[in-house]
Structure 1
Amino acid sequence: MGSKYLSQIILHIVLGALLYYFSFFPSLYFFSVIGYFLYKIITVPKNEKTLAVLMACAYLVGAEVIFRMTSAGIFYESSKYFIIFYLFIGMFYTGISNKSYPYFIVLVLLIPSIIVAAIGLNIDASLRRNVAFVLSGPVCLAISALYCYDKKVTLQQILTIILYIGLPIITLSTYLFLYTPSIKGVVTGTQSNFAASGGFGPNQVSTALGLGMFVFCVNFFLNSKTLFLKTLNILLFSLIAFRGIVTFSRGGILTAILMIATFLFMVYLKSNKKQKNMIVIYFFSLIAIASLVWIVSSSQTSGLIDKRYAGQDKLGREKEDVSAGRVNIFMSELEGFIDHPFLGVGASEMKEIRLERLGKVVATHNELSRLLSEHGLLGIIILLILLFKPLDVRSSNNHNFFFYAFLAFWFATINHSAMRIAAPGFVYALALLNVNYEKRPLHRKRIIQPR
């Protein structure tokens, strides 16, 4: 793994530099990625199709934010649509499980909100832009789940899939270091910082970087056979964590901590005594490194990051609303559900309602309340399927020790960033994979019976 892994990392650092310095390169990068994975999916043998499809989707999940940041895609939601495209190709070659039908029901239950929205949208509003934007995330989740449900993968294959999420996040981090090499000059308060986020939405950037923290933490614990690889992975973890922290968007970082804690707990439970001792040693090493990263972040932000996470403004005063207005949006969407309990107000209609009431566009950050307000009782059914179907999978296959970490990422992310990016939907689907652990073949000596 060592030389190939190092080459992949260097390549993605170089890609980050090319994206920053050459304005033509983002589109070239995007179309090269799309073409490469399409070719790979079509040409690999049938027994490798599943892995090829999941690697392609994983890479687009990791690259989505940098594609958006550099306007690389054909349009804003390009990554989600190509993920769905790859999944359909995968379904053509390898099919889907007949037990995955609840996720087809989810797709069907999304349709009434489109009809309601079509009736309620203003004449000057774009149906495709408004409706497709809010539904692309749930549709991407449902189709990902349809494909992944009970697909058999090995531990090494799922580690490869996770790595392919992380590689383009190295590119994103490189771009961010070039965009704002000095954090001190751009931090003036405790609000989310666009300058430290590459001029893009801190919430999305923080979410992607938090996912990157998880990827390289997993590599540190499970995929580093040498001291060099352990050092390399902990260095990548530290650099990505630093850039995530200084976005001043807390959601992605807190979600990463939750994922890592859940993952380590499950690995610890499934380990023998010797492995548990090593996990404890590496865990405290990780805590020490993370503490150092926080100290550097605090120094670079003149202590403002400490105040941000403490819910204070730059003068150290407690903020009246530490949720940055999210609670008010959540409550308004519950009102929308109460007023329209059966079919909801329609896809994207809550944004239209807030525009009329407040005179400005205020997008939701919470997918749970959005499902209730815009889909009504159908939204409750969707939520019940999404929450309980994975637990049914877990009851019959408890080998995937990433299961709870993946679900934690999905649930935490949709509560602070809705489904703006494809990551929560696809990572949710990874929890539905049937992970098998390779067993070494047992060679028995042939006993020759005496004549």
Structure 2
Amino acid sequence: MKSFRLSYIHIVLIHCILALVIFAVPFFSKVLALLIPIIGFYFVQKTKNKNNEVILVAAYLVGIEVFLRMTGGNLNNEYVKISVVFFMLLGMIYSNFSLKAFFYWFFLILLIPGVIVASTVTDYNVDVKKALFFNLSGPVCLAICAIYMFKRRVMFSDLQNIVLAIGLPILTTTVYLFLYNPSVKDVVTGTQSNFETSGGFGPNQVSTILGLGVFVFFTQLILFSKTKKEMILNGVLLLLVSYRGIVTFSRGGVITGIVMIICLLFFLYSFSNAKGKGKFILIFILTGLMGVGIWTYTSIQTSGLINKRYANQDARGREKKSQLSGREEIIESEITYFLDNPITGIGVGIGKEMREKSFGTAVASHNEITRMLAEHGLFGILGLLILFITPFVLYIHNRQHLYFLSFFLFWLLTINHAAMRTAAPAFVYALTLLSVHIKIPEKAEN
């Protein structure tokens, strides 16, 4: 009996239909949220994780997290992070992990003093359990993913399957956004982040995941389009995801996606021979034309308001006082907290309570770096040093990881504007630690 295998086009079509089904019957989103881990667990158990199937399952969960939140499918805000941690631990049971990953065990230990400090604070009415889950689920998810993926050997084609596993649910999200808000013109009236064009969910998080989707389908277009049909399909998908990302009016995710693409093109160009570099001129031109085309179309659809948004202007064209949508005050407050408490920090989750007392509003941090400084003090600095230095040390002997810098910058830029609200930055960071190898075919196979 021949094994049944879906084509790429069929898989894309299924994910488009999935958006239509959940738009028509929203309850199915909860069913989907339960089915993915169950099917994933069966899949991993059946294969005994021989080919790192846990990474594929976790990647799919990362890609679909925002969609589940948007459609009410998530059991709670940390559901996907907990699920990703579960599959990484399951992978360790089946496939062990590198003892050299002790840096990330140490990173977890460095988080403990901040927990102890928070538990002893009596000046603020803090739900310690809730504060710990909200602020530490991201760093813990990152550490566990990093421990599993540390120097784990994968082929570049396998890495692309992981990337695509993230991208397919993002396609579902994109189709859902078109269904939820078919006419952008009717809902865009200003230059602020737009909840209508973001499916009624947080534009910052939607923009973040769509920016990652832009990178996914760009890689599919230029590296893995095997036929002209696939090339056209991936080009269309890239344009659709880009358009919906831009019209969220949240800049962070879109800019991050562009930076990732620029890094990838730089890596590919530098690794190419003279003949390959000649072909890259065409790729640069086509990429530029697609960028200009999608931006022009978006500008027309938003009556020029998107131009003003990226120029940091309001609807009347006046310069806005804040460059970062008011996040400067939060960053300044966290730097002040760190300077006042440089050793132990103020404790996990206390920053939000302190801002409520100072500003009159309990505002959560959008910047994971300044939050680590404020709430963990010196231990936070040591933790950040581990996160910044380790991937580059590994990359010295891992030069075939073409996505390394793109992944690292996705993590870095995302935690600066969206903290670690979703599992995406934690998981993508861990992908930088994989030992990637590009299979060179034999001459007879050329």
Common fold: TM-score over 0.5: yes
Report Cα offsets for 1:110-137 as digits up to 9, x if no partner.
1111111112266753222211111101
Structure 2: where are the runs of 5+ without partners? none
Aligned residue in 1 for 2:113? 112
Find the aligned partners of 2:280 and 2:40 in 1 and give their Cα distance. 35
How many residues align? The count is 442
Deviation at 1:272, TM superposition (A): 2.0
Aligned position for 1:8: 11
Q: Aligned partners of 1:336 and 1:122: how far apart in 2?
A: 15
Alignment of 1:332-411 (within 5 A): 332-411=333-412
Deviates more, 1:308-317 or 1:34-43: 34-43
Q: 1:6-405 maps to which residues of 2 (within 5 A)?
A: 6-48=9-51, 50=52, 52-120=53-121, 124-405=125-406
Shift of 1:57: 0.9
Deviation track 1:63-101 (CA, whole Å, cap 9, x = no partner) reads 110111112122111000000000000001111111111
Which stretch shows the higher mean deviation, 322-331 or 425-434? 322-331
Gapped regions of structure 1 (runs ≥ 5): 445-451
User: In the alignment, what sits opposite 1:420?
Assistant: 421
Deviation at 1:35, TM superposition (A): 1.1
Please, which moves more after superposition, 278-287 or 108-117? Answer: 278-287
Task: Write the distance in 2 (CA, Å) between the matches of 1:124 and 1:381.
Answer: 29
1:8 alignment partner AA: I
**Whole-Å separation in 2 of the counterparts to 1:193 and 1:361:** 22
- CA offset digits 1:265-320 (Å, max 9, x no partner): 10111112222222221221121112111111111111100000001010001111
TM-score of the superposed pair, with normalisation by structure 1: 0.95
Q: Which amino acid aligns with 2:254?
A: I
Shift of 1:23: 2.4
SS where residue 197 of structure 2 aligns?
helix
Distance (Å, rounded) in 2 between the aligned partners of 1:204 and 1:102: 29
SS at structure 2 position matched to 1:432:
coil
CA distance in structure 2 between the aligned counterparts of 1:349 and 1:16, rounded to whole angstroms? 39
Pairing 1:433–2:434 present: yes
Change in Cα spacing, 1:46 to 1:31, as seen in structure 2 (3 Å) is closer
3-state secondary structure, aligned to 2:111: helix
- 1:442, CA displacement in angstroms? 6.2
Summarize deviations over 1:119-168 as a string: whole Å, max 9, x none: 22667532222111111011111111111110000011000000000000
Structure 2: distance between partners of 1:309 and 1:239: 20
**Deviations, residues 391-432 of structure 1 (Å, cap 9, x unaligned):** 110112211011111101011111111111111111111011
Letter of the aligned partner of 2:152 in structure 1? K
Q: Which one-letter code corresponds to 1:369 in the other structure?
A: T
**435-444 or 101-110, larger mean C-alpha shift:** 435-444
Which is worse superposed, 286-295 or 233-242? 286-295
Q: Which sits farther off after the overlay, 274-283 or 397-406?
A: 274-283
30-39 or 309-318, which moves further after superposition? 30-39
Whether the 8 Å contact between 1:121 and 1:127 is mirrored in structure 2 is no
User: How many angstroms does 1:387 deviate by?
Assistant: 0.6
Q: Any conservation in 1 of the 2:126–2:350 contact (CA below 8 Å)?
A: no
Deviates more, 1:284-293 or 1:80-89: 284-293
- Distance, in Å, in 2 between the alignment partners of 1:13 and 1:128 is 38
Alpha-carbon distance in 1 for matches of 2:218, 2:131: 37
Distance 1:69 1:128 in 2: 25
Q: Quote the Cα distance in structure 2 between the aligned partners of 1:319 and 1:62.
A: 33
Counterpart of 1:47 in 2: which secondary structure?
coil
Q: Give the superposition deviation at 1:440.
A: 2.5
Q: Which residue of 2 aligns with 1:449?
A: none
Provide the alpha-carbon RMSD of the alignment: 1.6
* 2:313 alignment partner AA: Q
Which letter maps to 2:217?
A: F
Q: Which 10-residue stretch deviates more, 254-263 or 122-131? A: 122-131
Find the aligned partners of 2:283 and 2:406 in 1 and give their Cα distance: 19
Q: Report the AA paired with residue 39 of structure 2.
A: Y
- Does the CA-based 8 Å contact 2:210-2:242 persist in structure 1? yes
Three-state SS of the structure 1 residue aligned to 2:436 is strand
Q: Deviations over 1:33-85 (max 9, x none)?
A: 1111111111115532x1x1110111111111011111212211100000000
Taking the aligned partners of 1:204 and 1:139, their CA distance within structure 2 comes to 20
Over 3 Å counting, the alpha-carbon distance change for 1:276 and 1:24 in structure 2 is same
Identity %: 44
User: Amino acid of the residue matched to residue 346 of structure 2?
Assistant: V
User: Could you say what secondary structure the match of 1:376 adopts?
Assistant: helix
CA distance in 2, matches of 1:443, 1:285: 33
